[in-house]
Amino acid sequence: MRISEVMNKAFVIDAKTSVKEAARIMSDKGIGSLIVMKGDKIEGIITERDVLKNISGLGKKVADVMSKNVITIEKGDSLENAAELMAEKKIKRLPVVSKGELVGIVTATDVLANSDSLNEDFFFD
C-alpha cells in the first residue's frame, strides 16, 4: 500500500503563530499536529506534546517550541517504509511530500489502521 492511499490533509501555520493559537487550531480541527511552513518550505512541526510541554508558555511563538529538521516521506513510498521510519526515528507523524512539496501527512494511527496491508515479516523480523 502506498502512502498516497492513506495520507491525510496536512494543516499548516506560520512560525510566528502563538503556541496558544496553534493549540486552538489543533483542537478545532481535531488533529494532533501542524506543519510549520515558510513559503513552500517545511520549517518544522508542532504537536500536541510540544504544546503540553510548553503549557506555561502559550504566549511563545511556534518557532520557539516546534521540532526542526522534519523527517518527511514521499507520497509514492510504501506504508511499510513509513512504519519502519517512524519506529527507527521514534516519531508518530511524517509529512508527505511530492517533488519537495508538502501534499499531506501520515500518522502512526494511519499505519495501524492499515496494518493488515503490512508484510507479516515487519512485525516478526
- pLDDT, tens only, 38-68: 999 999 999 999 999 998 888 899 999 999 9
Give CA–CA dist 32/27, Å, rounded: 8
Q: Which CATH number fits domain 3-124: 3.10.580.10, 3.40.190.10, 3.40.50.300, 3.40.190.290?
A: 3.10.580.10
In 3-state terms, what secondary structure has residue 56? Answer: helix
Residue listed under C-alpha cell 511524517: 94
Report the distance separating Cα 110 and Cα 122, nearest Å. Answer: 16
Which H/E stretch holds residue 29? helix 19-29
Cell digits of residue 8: 491525510
Report pTM: 0.89
